[in-house]
Amino acid sequence: MGFLLDALLGHRAAKGQNPDERISPLAVAPVEVPTFMEYRFFDGHYKDEYQIPRAAPGQEELFFTGGCDSPVYTYYPLPTRGMNKGQRLRVEVSAQDVEFIYPDGRVRWRSDEWNDAVAMLDGVPFGGLQTSHLIFRSLALQGYKVVLDASYEGMYDAEEGIPSIVVHLPDVTDLKNWGRLLRRCGEFVPFEEYRNAVVLAISEDKWTYPDEIAGKDASNFSMHFVVPEKKSLKPRIEIKYKDCVLEKIYESNPDFEIWRERLERGIRRATFARRESRREGDAYYWRVLLMF
């Protein structure tokens, strides 16, 4: 018999009721179920994969939604009681780890043992996200309030009382690449701004690095669509620093249409520029990361 029903029987016995009396499934749902497990927050010890810049004071919450569905592994179902199928939820991500503990002291689940980010409803933990979504924990660790679009999809295991909660998120590859970009940039760039941008890295062996962009000034970087006068030459997109051509992108480049689409939308200048050091074998070199 599932732990939800076990808890109900124990609750009835404590009230002087006969725990052996037959209980119909219809009678179970409306009865108030006691808290049969406890939870405890604690600070886990693990390496922060993304090392995202710290949130500024007053930083607004980060809300994520998208077309990629992912289950939340639910271990503490009480916060989900009384929900209707299809009900939309706002799942928060905890900056701490959590463990769920049975009354006899046995541990039901510890997030640090599974390296999962902790999912919460109204501040109460109820389960863990897939390991591929650790970027949300990294954000929470740095002081961001992370909220995920989610929905209640009914019961995953009715006998055990385990609900099916699904989060609706952007593509996990986009999220990971964005996290890596934040780590390289050293400052926060909103996800939507990153997702709507195209990123280009230019090695400095192609040009002399100008001192005036030692910070993040991107105003002198631009892109242009060039149609050569000679018909034998193919159209191209040029990336420039002032009048210096840094990169030429031809139609054979898989990203050519992405760049051209941005030009057609009137995007001409970079919104972000940062110098970064890269390693190739035993050698180091510098490059500039641009975002349009």
Which range (7-16, 52-61, 213-222, 238-247) has the least confidence? 7-16
Q: Which one, of 215, 182, 202, 198, lies nearest residue 286 by Cα?
A: 202
What pLDDT, on the 0 to 100 scale, is given for residue 203?
64
Q: What is the pLDDT of residues 41-75, one digit of tens each?
A: 998 766 677 778 888 887 778 999 999 999 999 99
CA–CA separation, 120 and 126 (whole Å): 6
pLDDT higher than threshold 90 for residue 291: no
| pLDDT at residue 94 in the model | 94
pLDDT greater at residue 133 or residue 85? 85
Which tens digits make up the pLDDT trace of 9-43?
Answer: 333 334 344 444 433 333 333 333 335 688 999 98
Range among 137-141, 217-221, 226-230 rated most confident:
137-141
Q: What does the pLDDT read at residue 167?
A: 97
Q: Who wins on pLDDT, 230 or 275?
A: 230
Q: In whole numbers, what is the pLDDT of the chain averaged over residues?
A: 77
Count Cβ neighbours within 10 Å for each residue of 2-23 and write b for 16 or more, e otherwise: ebbbebbbebbeeeeeeeeeee
Those residues whose C-beta lies under 8 Å from the C-beta of residue 280, and which sit 6 or more positions away, are none
Residue 210 has pLDDT above 60, yes or no: no
**Is the confidence at residue 4, as pLDDT, over 80?**
no
pLDDT at 123: 93
In the chain, what percentage of residues exceed pLDDT 90? Answer: 27
Taken in order 76, 79, 83, 89, is the CA torsion positive or negative?
Answer: negative
Read off the pLDDT of residues 260-289 as tens digits, 9 standing for 90 and up. Answer: 888 888 888 887 776 666 666 666 666 677
